[in-house]
Amino acid sequence: GESVGLHLPTLSVQEGDNSIINCAYSNSASDYFIWYKQESGKGPQFIIDIRSNMDKRQGQRVTVLLNKTVKHLSLQIAATQPGDSAVYFCAENFRPDTGRRALTFGSGTRLQVQP
């Protein structure tokens, strides 16, 4: 099974509302996490990252929260816009089978912004 997963496969929000995308990870040895956005027909693009020595990190309209106690990661998007419609992936940087660090991705959440 996957070590990184998401609670909701599709999230539909109204334009202007805040969006919250959740992610659960299973490996306590992971110390770095990234959120990526993938628009249709394109490769994933970096949104924001967070290291395990932090609980929260803010970017432009985005905030990532990390709860190491329950191994949970969330991406909050403020004032969601139509251009935010995409698939969002979380990733962690531990490879449990080899011990070598490389990013492992979850299955993704599709965010649909309704006008």
Partner 1 sequence: DADVTQTPRNRITKTGKRIMLECSQTKGHDRMYWYRQDPGLGLRLIYYSFDVKDINKGEISDGYSVSRQAQAKFSLSLESAIPNQTALYFCATSETATGELFFGEGSRLTVL
Q: For partner 1, which is the closer residue by CB, 9 or 16?
A: 9
Question: Nearest 5°: phi and psi at 27?
Answer: -100, 110
Q: How far is the CB of 45 from partner 1 (least distance, A)?
A: 7
| Least gap, CB of 115 to partner 1 (angstroms) | 26
Closest CB to partner 1 among residues 19, 104: 104
Cα–Cα distance between 105 and 3 in angstroms, integer? 8
Residue 40 vs 115, nearer CB to partner 1: 40
Cβ at position 14, least distance to partner 1 in Å:
25
Contacts with partner 1, residue ranges (CB under 8 A): 2, 9, 31-32, 34, 36, 42-46, 49, 89, 91, 93, 95, 97-98, 100-108
Q: In terms of CB distance, is 97 or 115 closer to partner 1?
A: 97
- Please give the radius of gyration of the chain, using alpha carbons only, rounded to the nearest integer: 14
